[in-house]
């Protein structure tokens, strides 16, 4: 590979020796800075969740405890938030697929007037600063009597999923080779059989990725839900807002760890598909 030949060549030049050492040193500095900046805070979070307390400025917890976990898991308000989150989010994803998947199919397999407008509009809605979009929605949600209702929450969360649910499956449908479709037709399959037996199965991975991303987008959506749903519908991420202010930091840390479990698990599950293409250069699995 030419990338390796590049380094091989630079290694043979005596002048680049000093440069190489300097770059190794810089690399090490960057490496530890990144670990400190990105990883250590997360380790700190997990440690908080099991720490009884700290004698400032000591970084060693006074002792380890499961007491915070016990408190969180026995707090009815918090459990209600968990219930809300795990019921509202699937509804949002289901509605989003009803609205977006037929469109994704059409965008992926057909050419029609206005297609570029559809694609651009769907993309550009995400170029709007989120919070001002939600602020702008308020007068209408009031007029429709949807403020503080579960429907209002669903609508707000739905907006954040449209891009995923349309673009990603559309590319999935588009990437099905025409030769396969033609072959199925030649073998006597009708339009519906082609869809159900050929197109849909081949587009399924992209639909799955879109569904997972939509699920996470809705599940983690906090700012719009806070604006529209509070105080009636306090989903899990919104609980974090008040936990941060009103509770011991360890209590919030436990809730934070619990709340990140779905994200981490689902994203690891689809990571290969998600990073496909850009992942090739990475040596790390």
Partner 1 sequence: MSMESVGTRVVALESATALSGPEAKKPSRHARRRFRAEGRRGGVASALAFLPLIFLAVFGGIPIILSLLLMLGHFGGPNSAVSQLGQGEIPGHGIGTLGAVTQLFENHAYQQDVIATVVVFMVSGVLVLAIAVTLTLWQRLRPSRAMATLQFLAVVPLFIPVVIASFTLWTFWGDRGFTNSAATMLGWSHALIFSGKLQGVVLAEVWVSLPFAVLLMRAGVSTLGDSSLDAARDAGAGLLTVALRIALPQLRRESIIVFCFTAVGVLGSFTVPYIVGPSSPLMLGVNAVNTFSDYNQPQQAAVIGFTIFALAGLIGAIYAIGTRSRHVRH
14: burial class by Cβ within 10 Å (0-12, 13-18, 19+)?
exposed
Task: Give the number of residues in contact with partner 1, rule: CB under 8 A.
Answer: 120
Beta bridge partners of 51: 64
Q: Does 168 bind partner 1 (CB under 8 A)?
A: yes
x-marked contacts with partner 1 along 87-126 as a string, rule CB under 8 A: ------------xx-xx-xxxxxxxx-xx-xxx-xxx-xx
| Binding residue for partner 1, selected from 38, 63, 186, 192, defined by CB under 8 A | 38
Q: Where are the alpha helices (DSSP H) in 75-199?
A: 76-109, 115-124, 130-143, 150-159, 162-174, 178-186, 191-193
Least Å from the CB of residue 200 to partner 1 = 14
**CA-wise closest residue to 259 among 233, 224, 211, 222:** 222
Least Å from the CB of residue 115 to partner 1 = 7
**CA-wise closest residue to 9 among 21, 20, 25, 23:** 20
| Binding residue for partner 1, selected from 149, 184, 230, 242, defined by CB under 8 A | 230
Q: Does 83 bind partner 1 (CB under 8 A)?
A: no
- d(CA 12, CA 110) in angstroms, rounded, equals 55
Q: Does 21 bind partner 1 (CB under 8 A)?
A: no
Q: Does 193 bind partner 1 (CB under 8 A)?
A: no
Instruction: Tell me the backbone φ, ψ of residue 175, rounded to 5 degrees.
Output: -85, 0
Q: Does 39 bind partner 1 (CB under 8 A)?
A: yes
> Which of the ranges 65-73, 83-91, 182-190, 277-285 carries the binding residues for partner 1, by CB under 8 A?
277-285
If the CB atoms of residues 78 and 253 are measured against partner 1, the closer one turns out to be: 253
| Binding residue for partner 1, selected from 14, 57, 76, 77, defined by CB under 8 A | 57
Cα–Cα distances (Å) from 23 to 1, 13, 66, 115, 278, in that order, read: 22, 15, 45, 49, 25
Least Å from the CB of residue 94 to partner 1 = 14
| Binding residue for partner 1, selected from 87, 268, 269, 272, defined by CB under 8 A | 268
* Rg of the chain over all Cα atoms, to the nearest angstrom: 25
Least Å from the CB of residue 66 to partner 1 = 19
């Amino acid at each position: 590979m030419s990338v390796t030949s590049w380094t091989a060549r630079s290694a043979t030049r005596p002048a680049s020796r000093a440069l190489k050492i300097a770059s190794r040193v810089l690399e090490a500095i960057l490496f530890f800075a990144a670990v400190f900046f990105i990883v250590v805070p997360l380790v700190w979070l997990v440690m908080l969740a099991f720490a009884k307390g700290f004698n400032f400025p000591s970084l060693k917890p006074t002792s380890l405890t499961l007491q915070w976990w016990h408190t969180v898991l026995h707090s009815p308000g918090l459990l209600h938030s968990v219930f809300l989150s795990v019921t509202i989010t699937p509804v949002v994803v289901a509605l989003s697929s009803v609205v977006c998947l037929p469109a994704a199919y059409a965008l992926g397999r057909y050419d029609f007037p206005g297609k570029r407008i559809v694609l651009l509009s769907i993309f550009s809605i995400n170029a709007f600063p989120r919070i001002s979009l939600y602020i702008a929605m308020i007068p209408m949600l009031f007029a429709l009597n949807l403020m503080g209702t579960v429907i209002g929450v669903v609508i707000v969360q739905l907006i954040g999923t449209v891009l995923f649910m349309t673009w990603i499956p559309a590319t999935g449908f588009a990437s099905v080779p025409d030769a396969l479709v033609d072959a199925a037709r030649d073998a006597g399959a009708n339009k519906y059989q082609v869809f159900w037996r050929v197109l849909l199965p081949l587009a399924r991975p992209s639909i799955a990725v879109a569904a997972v991303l939509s699920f996470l987008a809705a599940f983690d959506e906090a700012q719009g839900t806070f604006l529209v749903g509070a105080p009636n519908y306090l989903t899990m991420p919104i609980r974090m807002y008040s936990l941060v202010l009103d509770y011991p930091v360890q209590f919030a840390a436990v809730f934070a760890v619990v709340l990140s479990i779905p994200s981490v698990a689902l994203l690891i599950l689809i990571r290969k598909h998600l990073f496909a293409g850009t992942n090739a250069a990475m040596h790390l699995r």
